[in-house]
A and B are shown apart, each in its own frame.
Chain A
Amino acid sequence: MNLNLALIVSSIALFSGAGCSGKAKGDSSEASRASTSEVKGQFFNAKIVGWSVGPEVSGDSLQDIRNACEIEITTPSGEVPSSLSVQKVFPFMKVHGHGAPDEQIVTEVVGNRIKVSKISFIMSGPWELHVQATVNGQSGEVEIPVVVP
């Protein structure tokens, strides 16, 4: 009987207490648009030096996928590489375990920078931009953190 009462009363308390919400909206400040600190990889280092569009949650058509940034690549010792080619750049959201459609992503190498456009971020939150590249003949991958407001 006591257990029964306690259970019912606690259920009421639990249910009635559920009205409190600690809801907070995502950060949409300019901070997320700033360049990232350099990420060091085994064969190359990478750093986002700027976003021409975004980072922002993408729209629902190819025309609405507009995120574009420029990534600077250096050798592990911090020098400008003599050769650079890109295999793939794609976004992934580690904390949710999924990526986003990436077939539409366009990359262009200019000097030691990679211009990346049409990056899709399908939701707000912490993402990683994976860069698979060959630098001075050695292929590797780095992941650059990106916060999408």
Chain B
Amino acid sequence: MTPILKIRFSFFSASVLAFVVVAISLPSHAWACASCGSGSDDPLVLWPNEELKTYVGVSTSSRFETVDPQGKYGQESGPKSRDAFTFAVGKALRNDFFFTLTLPVQQNRLEGSSLRSLGDPMIAARWSWWMPDFSEPLRPQIQMMTSYKLAHSKSLQETTRPDLLDAFGTGIPELKLGIDTFWGMGTVKGGVALAGLFPEERKLGRTTVFPGNGLRATSTVGFSLGGDNKIIGGLVREMRENRRNDGQRVEKSEVLSHSIFVTLDWSPAQHNMLRLSLTDKGRVLENRNMIAASSLSFAWLATWE
């Protein structure tokens, strides 16, 4: 690196650091969490003092591409877009504990035809180990999170249609256990969430499949836009160990997936939040044995007295 580049880099680094130091010391009232808005974890999170909250969202996913064990991209048949209407409700049992129930209705679309089905319902809970505190803006919020996804909808293993319009889920129930750490009290926000993914083994079609245990890491950074409004972006990395088919370990079946997302939260009125999210899965960094897709979602979150 030439001296002039070194100087420029140092100036840039110092500017970023100075901005971060100033920004995190400014108070902000926008709550968040590291996995919120990432599209890969729970869609609904309750903040302290919220007792009942609902989420109504619509989303569409498209630009599907398969990624093989060597990371090569290819094509797939079947739906060209998948839309979802998602309803979630959350209830706080204590100030530091709540649970949510999520029900998606999904629609697969393919030129001229579509099919709709209830997706995989999910029940989730979070317990705040460390609560956020306005008097201590540098103290992170730390939540323990868990969820269980039921396998209600038909999977690729069970599809009978050549156009695959009747495949809506993985066919595998899955337990998630994790921790979510977030610094959300400053103008600049950020956090990390880590979750273990523990699917069940299940017979689907001719084969008993086990997709392999996994780990999902979400890293986010965001900025308050004043009040409860904020913009948050992040990176999700998901890894899964080798799958097992009929008890046999399958070589080169490890999953590696990276997604980036950006979420804009806008509060037009007290107790109401509108959320716009863009997610691009499988098109950054290295990916293996997954389906790349782009998603757009829009949601209304409401807190009820």
User: Contact residues of A with B, CB < 8 Å?
Assistant: 1, 4-5, 7-12, 14-15, 18-27, 57-62, 64-65, 92, 94-99, 101, 103-104, 120, 122-126, 148-149
Contact = CB atoms under 8 A, between A and B. Distances in A.
A101 B192 contact: no
Contacts of B17: 5, 9
A54 to B, nearest CB: 13
Contact of A122 (B140, B164, B245): B164
Contacts of A58: 77, 162
**Residue among A60, A96, A101 with the highest chain B CB neighbour number at 10 A:** A96
B283 A21 contact: yes
Nearest to B284: A18
A141 B89 CA distance: 50
Nearest to A103: B160
Contacts, number: 158
Interface string B137-174: 01010000000000000011101111110000000000
Contact of B192 (A11, A94, A124, A148): A11
A60 B289 CA distance: 22
Nearest to A122: B77
Nearest to B113: A60
Name, among B163, B243, B252, the residue most crowded by chain A CB atoms within 10 Å (CB to CB). Answer: B163
A123 B76 contact: yes
A22 B285 contact: yes
Contact of B74 (A4, A10, A104, A125): A125
Contacts of A96: 156, 253, 289
Contact of A57 (B75, B110, B283): B75
Given A7-B183, A11-B192, A125-B69, A95 B161 contact: no
A58 B75 CA distance: 10
A14 B74 CA distance: 27
Contact of A126 (B68, B221, B260): B68
B24 A4 contact: yes
Contacts of A126: 68-69, 252
B281 to A, nearest CB: 12
B39 interface: no
Given A7-B190, A11-B234, A61-B162, A25 B69 contact: no
* Interface size bracket, B side: 35 or more
16 contacts: A11-B190, A15-B260, A24-B70, A26-B73, A57-B77, A58-B162, A62-B162, A92-B206, A95-B243, A95-B253, A96-B289, A97-B250, A99-B207, A101-B160, A122-B78, A124-B75
Contacts of A7: 183, 190-192
B14 interface: no
Interface of B: 16-17, 20-21, 24, 66, 68-78, 110-111, 138, 140, 155-157, 159-164, 183, 188, 190-192, 204-207, 209, 211, 219-221, 233-235, 243, 245, 250, 252-253, 258, 260, 283-286, 289
Nearest to A63: B162
B190 A94 contact: no
Contact of A18 (B69, B70, B206, B260): B260
A23 B162 contact: no
A62 to B, nearest CB: 5
Contact of B221 (A11, A20, A21): A11
B72 A25 contact: yes
A64 B77 CA distance: 10
Top 5 A-B pairs, shortest CB-CB distance: A124-B74, A26-B74, A123-B76, A11-B221, A125-B68
